[in-house]
Structure 1
Amino acid sequence: MLSKFGRKIINQNQDNLLNSFLIGLEVERQRTDAQGQISSYPYPQNIGNQQDNPWITNDFMETMTEVVTPVATTIDDALSYLEKLSNVLRSGLHSHEYLWPLSMPPELPRDRRQVEIAHANAEKRHYFFTWLKSHELQEATPCGMHINLGLTPQLTNGLTIAEKNQLYIILAQGFLRYRFMLTYFFGASPLAERNYFLNNQGPQRLVRSIRQSAYGFGTKFTGNFADIEHYQERILAGICDGKLLAEHDFHSPVRLRKQGSIKDIVVKGTSYLELRMLDLNPWASVGINSDELKLICLMAAYFLVEKPAPYNLQQFTDMNEQVALESPYEHCQYQTEILTFLTELRKFAGTIQANQSIYDLLDRLAIMVCHPSLTINGQLARHVNNGSLISFAVCQAKKFQSRAALATNVYDGFASGYVPAADELAQYLSAK
């Protein structure tokens, strides 16, 4: 059943607008050596200053790199930007240094004091060390893919700020509802390497995704996505109560983002939705492939036009937790729900006249539901050797590094310390 917004779009023959979103990608990856150990080499010197280059920097650990793309208007451009910026990063690595392709980190030192915290600016380092006072260090070390999804001006033309905010709330609810499905298809963290869990704290068998389970990233603060006002109030209350150090300490799998303070989001509007629920794809050199992005965009379009289902965040969280901790070899306990939703997406694809690649994708996903071994994690589990993925990860890392070495016309503007604006960088990356 169509929502009010959906009826408007379909009745005005504007459904083509649902095929396009503003897309930004952020990928975190660890720097490692040729043996798959955390790198001891210093931060690369010819990719810009880690404190003021917004496109290539690092996160919690000094060896945890982060690449951020400018906003793209197509999936192909978004992936191209990410690949070219990743090539810049790879070109700056030491000759015996690589990017770890897995979400879970390589072996951590048992003595956590040996982990070097990122040489970020004073404010960021203060946050890191304050955060460590109430969390275990390893909780901040998993890496992943963040997808920033924005509504195009053409799609929101004529809408009030309140109406735009409501569309972003609908998107957030939809992705939280079907997070379990994304974990089933794209979960890729079946185990943790040695010294991640101390004293057998973690799962004692392979699972679909440690990172997307309760064993994953640190701050366990639940948001409220009932509407934009409750979303804002919940985060501000968390900061006031000391449960959150700042608004960016809200590490939900879905976040509503805007420029400036969360205090302004109701009156000034949401800028984009941040999805933080994807593990790194170890078979993709940039950590994600077009199938994942195509599904995300199709789901977003569907959520916008279909009447929202009842919102129950605790139920959604419980469903994802159950799927995340399933064995990679098991059929998902929500197999029927996934197949039903894929059928709905297929019908919707016809409504918006999606191209054949979408139907092919939905066919592949339906097969994966019946054959867990074909999911990313099902394939990854076959490479586990003596309870470890180090050999596989090193092989993949070296292969991706070799490919990057063949890239031509790698952007070298960061080496001079110049930091281009988003439009300028996007133009350069598009031209190459």
Structure 2
Amino acid sequence: MESIEAIIQQQQLAGKLFGGFFGLEVEQHRVLTNGKLSRHPYPAAFSSRRHNPYLKTDFCDNMFELVAPPVQGATAAVQNLKYLQQIVNDHLAADERIWPLSIMAPLSADDLAFATTFNTRQWMADYHDYLGAKYGIARELMAGVHVNFSLHRDLIAALFAASGQSDLAAFKNHLYFRLAQGFVAHRWLFTYLFGASPVLANPLKGMPDNLAFPVRSLRSSDFGYTNFSSETITYSSLGAQLDQLKRFVAEGKFYSLHEFYGPVRLKSRGANSDDLIAHGTERLEFRAFDLDPLSRAGISNDTLNFLEVFLAYWLVADQEADLTEADEKNQAVALQHPHQEFDWTKERGLALLDNLDAFVAKYGAPKEYQA
């Protein structure tokens, strides 16, 4: 197979590089004006959370999960999310507000007990209780944004046709897993740029007592929204990852494949690994983004555009992701004081930004990506 860069240039596919689709999922808490978790029931006007594709709840009934459908480009994706958030705001009680941060405000023992039982999704009751017992209630109450991303279908089709391969599912899995590896290798930079969970009000299970605050992103650290460090899932290869996940489920370490809390997951039509092998990856689900308190939607156009530029660059770049100490690098950046930085952070970050700058210039990216 010719290089991806050569195929894109020969077939004039540069425009498709920046034509990806985003679907956003955001978790946000309803709180009362006195600072406590909202005791108001889930709005009946939203109908069944089991069947409504857009309006759901997560760990407890006051924790909204809004699912914006996929659309092309960051601007439209954020706008879709804002539409759902407006619907939610229109149905809040007079004494309710939406908490804008990933980490909750100080919660009383009564609040934590209430969150433990305030779950009327009976079909999820066993999983809910399992997560609370294993990870602790405070960790399960962490909120954030899940970014679903897919490459333009025409781009995938052209690359597949030029590859000479016969298995489209395997080709898509290889392509998307390579992007996932690139993100994992450079997750520290995304944590550096977009981390926004600096303090902690409610103790987390397994967190050391001597951790100094503020930090850059507690949620992005080993003590945040992730599996325990002893149960870290590999990104060395897709085969190794799927084998490890199946083994963890079979051994009872994971409740199901849904318990994989890695920074990025490959998603197919169905919910199990057999679907992934049979049909191939449909999208990547990035789970490493804190709520952005400076964006009304919880995530900004700029964040999504930067992610897309990085993924487009990594798709074309003829290099393998260096996963050596990737978790350690992200952990160090996540738990660093936000006003500090390592020498290697600056050196590697600026080098990558220079590469991205040259990349968008070479491929004539739209101005929002150049900016």
TM-score by length of 1: 0.78
Q: Report the Cα distance in structure 2 between the residues aligned to 1:356 and 1:81, rounded to whole angstroms.
A: 22
Compute the displacement of 1:26 (Å): 0.4
User: Could you say which residue in structure 2 is the equivalent of 1:100?
Assistant: 99
After superposing the two structures, state which structure 1 stretch, 36-45 or 294-303, moved more: 36-45
User: Could you say which residue in structure 2 is the equivalent of 1:276?
Assistant: 287
Q: For the structure 1 residues 196 and 173, does the alpha-carbon distance in structure 2 shift closer, same or farther, using more than 3 Å as the test?
A: closer
Compute the displacement of 1:315 (Å): 1.0
> Structure 1: which 5+ runs fail to align?
361-432
For the Cα contact (< 8 Å) 2:27–2:63, is it kept in 1? yes
Residue 295 (structure 2) pairs with residue 296 (structure 1)? no
Residue 232 (structure 2) pairs with residue 222 (structure 1)? yes
Q: Report the Cα distance in structure 2 between the residues aligned to 1:199 and 1:12, rounded to whole angstroms.
A: 52
For the Cα contact (< 8 Å) 2:23–2:68, is it kept in 1? yes
- Cα deviation, 1:327-365, whole Å, max 9, x if unaligned, reads 0111344111000000000010012201333232xxxxx
Task: Say which SS state the counterpart of residue 22 (structure 2) adopts.
Answer: strand
Runs (4+) off by over 4 Å: 194-200
Q: Report the Cα distance in structure 1 between the residues aligned to 2:264 and 2:207, rounded to whole angstroms.
A: 31
Listed as ranges, the matches of 1:207-218 within 5 Å are: 207-218=215-226
Q: For the structure 1 residues 239 and 194, does the alpha-carbon distance in structure 2 shift closer, same or farther, using more than 3 Å as the test?
A: closer
Compute the displacement of 1:108 (Å): 2.1
Q: Report the Cα distance in structure 2 between the residues aligned to 1:202 and 1:41, rounded to whole angstroms.
A: 37
> Structure 2: which 5+ runs fail to align?
161-167
For the Cα contact (< 8 Å) 2:214–2:338, is it kept in 1? yes
Q: Report the Cα distance in structure 2 between the residues aligned to 1:13 and 1:241, rounded to whole angstroms.
A: 49
- Cα deviation, 1:173-229, whole Å, max 9, x if unaligned, reads 111111111111110000012556799747232100110011102522322323332
Letter in 2 for 1:69: A
User: Could you say which residue in structure 1 is the equivalent of 2:163?
Assistant: none
For the Cα contact (< 8 Å) 1:27–1:68, is it kept in 2? yes
Q: For the structure 1 residues 205 and 166, does the alpha-carbon distance in structure 2 shift closer, same or farther, using more than 3 Å as the test?
A: same
User: Could you say which residue in structure 1 is the equivalent of 2:157?
Assistant: 157
Residue 318 (structure 2) pairs with residue 318 (structure 1)? no
Q: Report the Cα distance in structure 2 between the residues aligned to 1:46 and 1:202, rounded to whole angstroms.
A: 46
Task: Say which SS state the counterpart of residue 42 (structure 2) adopts.
Answer: coil
User: Could you say which residue in structure 2 is the equivalent of 1:180?
Assistant: 188
Q: How many residues align?
A: 358
Compute the displacement of 1:311 (Å): 3.6
For the Cα contact (< 8 Å) 1:3–1:306, is it kept in 2? no
User: Could you say which residue in structure 2 is the equivalent of 1:86?
Assistant: 85
Letter in 2 for 1:213: S
- Cα deviation, 1:107-151, whole Å, max 9, x if unaligned, reads 222354332445354331111112233222211111001100012
Compute the displacement of 1:264 (Å): 2.6
User: Could you say which residue in structure 1 is the equivalent of 2:178?
Assistant: 170
Listed as ranges, the matches of 1:46-125 within 5 Å are: 46-110=45-109, 112-117=112-117, 119-125=119-125
RMSD over equivalenced CA pairs, Å: 2.1
Letter in 1 for 2:293: P
Compute the displacement of 1:106 (Å): 2.0
TM-score by length of 2: 0.91
Q: Report the Cα distance in structure 2 between the residues aligned to 1:218 and 1:201, rounded to whole angstroms.
A: 19
Q: Percent identity?
A: 28
Q: For the structure 1 residues 20 and 64, does the alpha-carbon distance in structure 2 shift closer, same or farther, using more than 3 Å as the test?
A: same
For the Cα contact (< 8 Å) 2:267–2:285, is it kept in 1? yes
For the Cα contact (< 8 Å) 2:116–2:132, is it kept in 1? no
- Cα deviation, 1:378-429, whole Å, max 9, x if unaligned, reads xxxxxxxxxxxxxxxxxxxxxxxxxxxxxxxxxxxxxxxxxxxxxxxxxxxx
Compute the displacement of 1:317 (Å): 0.7
Compute the displacement of 1:13 (Å): 1.7
Q: Report the Cα distance in structure 2 between the residues aligned to 1:7 and 1:40, rounded to whole angstroms.
A: 58
For the Cα contact (< 8 Å) 1:254–1:273, is it kept in 2? yes
Letter in 2 for 1:172: A
Listed as ranges, the matches of 1:402-417 within 5 Å are: none
User: Could you say which residue in structure 2 is the equivalent of 1:344?
Assistant: 355
Higher relative contact order (CA 8 A, sep 6+): 1
After superposing the two structures, state which structure 1 stretch, 268-277 or 210-219, moved more: 210-219
For the Cα contact (< 8 Å) 1:107–1:196, is it kept in 2? no
Task: Say which SS state the counterpart of residue 48 (structure 2) adopts.
Answer: coil
User: Could you say which residue in structure 1 is the equivalent of 2:147?
Assistant: 147
Task: Say which SS state the counterpart of residue 20 (structure 1) adopts.
Answer: coil
